[in-house]
Amino acid sequence: MSTDSKAARWKILLGYAAFAVVAFVVGLLVTFPYDAIRKRLVSEAAQAGLAVRIGSLRPGLAGITATNVRVSKPPQPLSADTVAALARGEGMLGAAELGEPLVLDSVALRPALFPPGIALRASVMGGTLSASVGLLGDTRVKVTVDGLQASGGNLPQFTGMDLDGELNAALSLTLPKSGAQPDLSQANGELTLDTRNMVIKSGKVAIPMGGGTAVPMDLPQIDLGALTGRIQFVKGLGTVESLRLKSNELEAVATGTLKLGKRLEYSEPGMDVNIKLDPEFQKRLGLVGAGVTILPPDKTDPSFRAARLGGFLNRPTFLPRR
């Protein structure tokens, strides 16, 4: 066989292979069950009390990728019609009905083998959020937040504050099955926090002093510095091994517990918080700084003011410690 005929055969084989790959990709794009996956994701989120809106879905070799994903906490449970509209990618509802969303640029989902379950990787706020959920036996959840920029994305709109700094955290929990659903209130695991160079440039805050209705107050620029901590959970009761916020303007140290609820927002902090403010910074805080002066001095170190953080995560109380 001549060299020319061999070259021609390779060209034909290469052409067939290229055609097969293109046909596979086109077929996957055309027949991929986008609607079914979008409906499942939106429905599962609604059962957890969240509203999820997905800009687009596309398949990958090992899973799917969603872009322009908006996750929010509606003020009221979503109606069946609203969930159906979100599942179809329709609806013109805004923040008043669905809550202010946290925007994720892209979210990639794929099956995980060790342990069997689902793995997720999201691009958000200039960093990455990675998570895995093991579905064999007790539910195992691992989440890693790496290099998120507090000024990125729409976090200022989400929190109501103009922020800067870097967010890092890691969460590892094992949730035992209670009936058909995993039970967060009995989870075992650990949470670690490591934020750097945090600054509140401006914004409003509602501090529940005295247990009454919190009144929003304007904040000046605040150098929060670094927030580091570790909380160990055993059967839903988290013990604060360390939790510290420190900068040139303030220092806060917390000890105590965080009792997980069946839903995260119903978790109960029970923490003693010691606070120390730089005198000039306290003057700049205005009414907020004056409110700190009603807290009694800490009995061990009078340079700190003593407070008690209680209530629930969705409705905390911050009172003078007795």
Question: What percentage of the chain reaches a pLDDT higher than 70?
Answer: 84
Share in percent of the chain as helix, strand, coil (round to 5): 25, 50, 25
Same domain, 99 and 151: no
Please indicate whether residue 224 or residue 111 has the higher confidence score (pLDDT). 224
Tell me phi and psi for residue 72, to 5 degrees: -145, 165
What is the number of structural domains in the chain?
A: 2
pLDDT of amino acid 28:
41
Residue 227 lies in a domain: yes
Task: Clarify whether residues 219 and 304 are in a common domain.
Answer: yes
**Structural domain span for residue 316:** 137-322
Question: Do both 184 and 321 map to the same domain?
Answer: yes
Which residue, of 109, 127, 157, is where some domain finishes? Answer: 109
From CA 118, how far away is CA 106, in angstroms rounded? 16
With a cut of 50, say whether residue 218 has pLDDT above it.
yes
What pLDDT score does 214 carry? 64
Together in a domain, 50 and 160: no
Residue 4: other Cβ atoms inside 10 A: 8
In a domain, 126, yes or no: no
Both 222 and 309 in one domain: the answer is yes
> If you compute the radius of gyration of the chain from its CA atoms, what whole number of angstroms results?
25
Which one of 72, 91, 109 terminates a domain?
Answer: 109
Same domain (yes/no): 93, 211 = no
Are 104 and 155 found together in one domain?
no
Residue 120: pLDDT above 80? yes
Identify the pLDDT of residue 165: 95
